């Protein structure tokens, strides 16, 4: 079983701040996903990573395979970024999920 830990659990930021959410996992993976869940339940896949770094707009995701660690960064945060961010790892055909980071961006 892959233990996936996220930090922080809750995060409140002022609009415009740079935000970092961290994810650590315990066993080797084939891919790591960052997911965004807004109130109401729908989940959007933000990134799928197996190495290195990806950027999409104001979002940047990095992964360090050797250290079993990934980070999700949000630059120039905005209230519409308020959501729960979930880290998920894939090992073989199994998904393991972190407990999520609840982000609130205050105008």
> Residues in the site for other proteins, rule: CB under 8 A?
30-31, 33, 35, 40-45, 48, 86, 88, 90, 92-100
Instruction: Please report how close the Cβ of residue 52 comes to other proteins at its closest, in angstroms.
Output: 15
Distance CA 14, CA 60 (A): 19
Is residue 98 within 8 Å of residue 86, measured between CB atoms?
A: yes
- Tally of residues, the chain: 107
Distance CA 39, CA 51 (A): 30
Name the token pair of 72. Answer: 């999700």
Q: What is the C-alpha end-to-end distance of the chain, expressed in Å?
A: 40
Instruction: Please report how close the Cβ of residue 46 comes to other proteins at its closest, in angstroms.
Output: 10
- Strand, coil or helix: 85: strand
């Amino acid at each position: 079983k892959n233990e996936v830990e996220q930090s922080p659990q809750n995060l409140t930021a002022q609009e415009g701040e740079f935000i970092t959410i961290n994810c650590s996992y315990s066993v080797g993976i084939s891919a790591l996903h960052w997911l965004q869940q807004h109130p109401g339940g729908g989940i959007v896949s933000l990134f799928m990573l197996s190495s290195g770094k990806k950027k999409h707009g104001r979002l940047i995701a990095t992964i360090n395979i050797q250290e079993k660690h990934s980070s999700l960064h949000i630059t120039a945060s905005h209230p519409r970024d308020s959501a729960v961010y979930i880290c998920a790892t894939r090992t073989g055909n199994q998904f393991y999920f972190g407990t999520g980071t609840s982000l609130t961006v205050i105008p």
